[in-house]
Amino acid sequence: MIHTDLCIIGAGPVGLFAVFEAGLLKMRCHVMDVLPQIGGQLSEIYPKKPIYDIPGYPVVLAQELVDNLSKQIEPFNPTYTLGERVEKIERQEDESFILETNEGTQCHAKAVVIAGGLGCFEPRKPALEKLENYEGKGIDYMVRHPEKYTNKKVVVAGGGDSALDWTIYLADMVEELTLVHRGSSFRGAPDSAEKIFKLAEEGKLNLKLNSQVTALHGNGVLKECLITDKAGKAELVASDYFVPLFGLSPKLGPIASWNLNLDRNAINVNVEDYSTNVPGVYAIGDINQYPGKLKLILSGFHEAALMAQSAYRVVSGGKKASLKYTTVNGIQSF
Amino acid sequence: MDIKIHIEEADGNINTIEAPTDMSLSLMEILKASDYPVAATCGGMALCASCHVEVLDNTYNEEANDAEMDMLDTLPVVSNSSRLACQMPITEEMDGIRIRLMAEEVTG
Ligand SMILES: Cc1cc2nc3c(=O)[nH]c(=O)nc-3n(C[C@H](O)[C@H](O)[C@H](O)COP(=O)(O)OP(=O)(O)OC[C@H]3O[C@@H](n4cnc5c(N)ncnc54)[C@H](O)[C@@H]3O)c2cc1C
Ligand code: FES
């Protein structure tokens, strides 16, 4: 089990900056996120978009801001559990908490900070019957361990960048590769589209345009995908793995069942310290709600600072944090 | 002028709303303002697809732009008449348009 002072749910900009504010007060942080990388909406939805309203930066690209936040919190050595969704928070008798992820990772923390943004980013799933039956038994919505496809028969679906990039990556290692795309051409990076057509020409890729996977067959584990084209012609393709890559979309997910006061998918908080109705649990950033709330990175940063002052009291058993400027003390790492 | 937009609900019921053409609004903004379940997570930048609609009549045939087509390409469920409401400015040509909401929150 991981032991920490603050367990922060969500590695978006606000969760990351909370590590900094907590670190100044000598609180250790563990950060958990369902995405395999840090950055929240900035890295997932708009990494290359310029942001103009971060103080001190006339303009900064979203991914650049995430990279800088990550550098800024390095002195405080935060630890991370990435690629796992926090499912449960259980309050212990001594008022500490045990959090558990969908993969069974546990974290023991003196206080919890929910910086969950719009919720969990979850894969968009194709509308196929019995899809759930094959999850973990042949269907992967994200490529996490590409080596497992070595010498296997793989069907990838999608027409976006990640479908193209992974198809190109897998071409040399799998036994048989099929790419299924609903449309007749690929937009996006012309270079990737060119590579895809070249792989198909060389016979390394079975390219099915204007087609969709319409059924899954197997006996407990996936054996075949039925691929149907626009004219209605169907073909069974032997498949050890089906990898639908249709991007991610946010859903509130497990947060809804944590006994917190919710209002329209956001957590109600006390604006003095962004605490929730559960003592020791805070909610900052896009996930919280109060009169006048602005869903901006800037507001989340401010909330992180006030949260940290209050959480310090919880973590240190009632002591009040005294405000010290970083210009006076510098950044004292541990 | 004000135009009429007919919105087909999941149960087949059709509801009509009115929208002004002179306020530079998009269909997404009108839907949101009328309390339809459109999250518009990206604020209308063709980045989130949470404003996905299907155009149910064939009189409206303004072409989708590249950013919109790219986004639609990433969705698991789309039809030939799929559009992103945030990329559809309210215009007079749109008068009488029939649409169905397709965002994931709506379709499950
Ligand atoms: C297109 C676009 C442009 C924007 N432009 C600006 C701008 O210019 N300026 C500005 O200030 N703001 C902008 N915003 C808003 C800004 O992105 C958000 O305010 C900001 O991302 C909120 O940060 P956050 O850390 O609270 O949440 P998020 O960035 O949403 O991060 C939350 C993280 O929590 C994770 N999570 C949630 N639940 C769980 C769980 N149960 N288990 C594990 N992980 C979980 C999610 O996977 C996610 O990574 C923009 C937003 C969009 C969509
Ligand atoms: S509001 Fe995000 S794509 Fe339209």
Contact assignment for A124 to B50 by CB distance below 8 Å: no
- A46 and B77 within 8 Å at the Cβ level: the answer is no
Token digits of residue A70? 């990550």
pLDDT in tens, A133-189: 999 899 999 898 899 999 999 999 999 888 999 999 999 999 999 999 998 888 767
pLDDT tens for chain B, residues 1 to 108 = 899 999 998 778 899 999 999 999 999 999 999 999 898 988 899 988 999 999 998 688 888 988 899 889 888 888 889 999 999 999 999 999 999 998 775 554
- CB contacts, 8 Å: A53 with chain B: none
Which pLDDT value is given to residue A229?
94
- DSSP 8-class letter at B41: T
The burial of A184, by beta-carbon neighbours within 10 Å (0-12 exposed, 13-18 middle, 19 or more buried), is given as exposed
**Taking CA atoms, what residue in A is nearest to B50?**
A249
Test B48 with A158 for CB contact under 8 angstroms.
no
pLDDT mean over A204-225:
95
Between CA A215 and CA A197 the distance in angstroms is: 25
> Which residue, B44, B55, B45, is CA-closest to B102?
B55
A40 in B contact zone (CB under 8 Å)? no
Considering only CA atoms, give the Rg of chain A. Answer: 23
Q: Which residue of B has its CA nearest to A160?
A: B74
pLDDT on residue B61? 81
- Tell me, what's the ipTM? 0.78
Cβ contact, residue pair A249, B47, below 8 Å: no
Mean pLDDT for A77-102 is 96
B-facing residues of A in 183-242 (CB < 8 A) are 183, 186-188
Instruction: State the DSSP H helix or E strand holding residue B99, giving kind and residue range, or none if neither.
Output: strand B97-101
Write down the pLDDT at residue B58.
Answer: 67
Give residue ranges with CB within 6 A of ligand 1: A 9-15, 32-35, 40-42, 45-46, 49, 51, 53, 85-86, 115-121, 253-255, 285-286, 295-298, 300; B 41-43, 45, 47
Scan for tokens 């980013």, then name that residue. A121
Burial class (CB in 10 A: 0-12, 13-18, 19+), A74: middle
What rounded mean pLDDT belongs to chain A? 94
* Tokens coding A17: 């900056």
pLDDT computed for residue B108 by the predictor: 46
Helix/strand/coil (H, E, C) string of A218-237? EECEEEEEEEEECCCCEEEE
Contact at CB, B76 and A46, closer than 8 angstroms: no
Proximal ligand: closest to the CA of A256:
1
Chain B residues within 8 Å of chain A (Cβ atoms): 41-42, 45, 47-50, 66, 69-70, 73-78, 104
* Contact of A229 with A206, CB cutoff 8 Å: no
User: What are the residues whose beta carbons fall under 8 Å from the beta carbon of A328, sequence distance 6 or more?
Assistant: none
Q: What is the mean pLDDT of residues A295-314?
A: 97
Instruction: Determine which of A52, A164, A249 to mutate to test the interface with B (most B C-beta atoms within 10 Å).
Output: A249
- Which helix (H) or strand (E) segment holds residue A169: the answer is helix A161-170
Best probe residue, ligand 1, of A297, A298, A299 (max atoms within 8 Å of C-beta)? A297
- Across-strand partners of A243? A156
* Cβ-Cβ contacts under 8 Å for B72 (sequence gap 6 or more): B49, B52, B64, B78, B82, B83, B84
Q: Whose CA is nearest to atom 5 of ligand 1?
A: A51
Edge-to-edge strand ranges of the sheet holding A262-263: A262-263, A266-268, A288-289
The helix (H) or strand (E) run that includes residue B66 is helix B66-73
Q: What is the pTM of this model?
A: 0.87
What tens digit of pLDDT does each residue of A239-257 get?
999 999 998 888 889 999 9
What pLDDT, on a 0 to 100 scale, did the predictor assign at position B53? 95
Q: Which two tokens stand for residue A147?
A: 């080596």
Cα distances (Å, whole numbers) of residue A217 to A153, A178, A223, B8, B12: 14, 16, 6, 34, 33
Chain B partners within 8 Å of A45 (Cβ) = 41-42, 47-48
First CA to last CA distance, chain B: 35
Pick from A229, A107, A218: nearest CA to A180: A229
Instruction: Report how far residue A22's alpha carbon sits from residue A4's, in angstroms, rounded to the nearest whole number.
Output: 12
A127 to B73: CB separation less than 8 angstroms, yes or no: no
Question: Which residue(s) pair with A218 in the sheet?
Answer: A222
Q: Which helix (H) or strand (E) holds B71?
A: helix B66-73
Tell me: pLDDT of A300 over 60.
Answer: yes
The residues, ordered by sequence, that sit 6+ positions from B19 with a Cβ below 8 Å of its Cβ are B2, B3, B5, B25, B27, B30, B90
What is the tens place of the pLDDT at every residue in A33-61? 999 999 999 999 899 999 999 999 999 99
| Cα B99 from Cα B108, distance rounded (Å) | 18
* B28 Cβ below 6 A of ligand 2: yes
- Identify the DSSP state of A181: -
* Residue A153 near residue A240 (C-beta atoms within 8 A): yes
